[in-house]
Copies of this chain bind each other. A is one copy, B any other.
Amino acid sequence: MMPSSSAPSAPSPGQPTTLRERKKLRTRQALADTAVALFGERGFDGTPLDALLEQVEVSRRTFFRNFRSKEDVALTAVKQLWGTYLDVLGAAEKSGPLADVLLGAMLTTLDRMDEDWYRRFPPTLRLIADSPALDGHALRHCAEVQEELVRRLGVPDRLELRLLIEFFVAAWRCALDEWLPECARGELPALLRRSCSSMAPALTLEA
């Protein structure tokens, strides 16, 4: 609907300058980190939000000023990934096959994520796999990113562009599913490449 004016989640500015902003960012990170840890232990649905608030020592009111929902805080790592992806794609040179552009941007993104993110992402994926509610939110977030991608990559044929983006995100999710059990950082790019190169053969699959 709208691009989010003063909305919770997604702190766009690169580096917070004032003390106030850094402080707010600290509580945000504390909430996100503790959320993944806590939900990982007791399950997403089995952990009341109050448990998280108590541990981080933050009031409910403050929490909801930083995150839109309980799902939102659990999906912080996912949103960081796609946020970075959109940044990378915005700066990338868009020429040649679009499928390669989309893939290349994700490879760059994966290279750019730091060690801390690689610690928090796999547990987040497991939370998603275990909780349908979280999965729904994650899928919805992907859909929003896809809409944004269609908007940015203006192309004459609207339908084919949308299909290609849907395909790419689907390939990404397939790669994640194969990555999930082990979650070795170095293997994800290879899995994604393999998933993308299986796209064309998949269309001609025989029963």
| Chain A positions near chain B (C-beta within 8 angstroms) | 94-99, 101, 132, 135-137, 139-140, 143, 153, 155, 157, 159-164, 166-167, 170-171, 173-174, 177-178, 194-195, 198-207
Which of chain B's residues have a CB closer than 8 A to the CB of A174? 159, 162-163, 166
The secondary-structure label for the interface of chain A is helix
How many Å lie between the Cα of A135 and that of B142 in the bound state? 11
Minimum CB–CB distance for A163 against chain B, Å? 4
Is B205 in contact with A159, judged by CB distance below 8 angstroms? Answer: no
Taking the nearest CB of chain B, how far is it from the CB of A172, in angstroms? 10
Q: For A201, list chain B residues within 8 Å (CB).
A: 160
Assembly CA distance A200 to B201 (angstroms): 10
In the complex, chain B residues whose CB is within 8 Å of the CB of A177: 162
Kindly state the separation between the CA atoms of A207 and B155 in the bound complex, as whole angstroms. 7
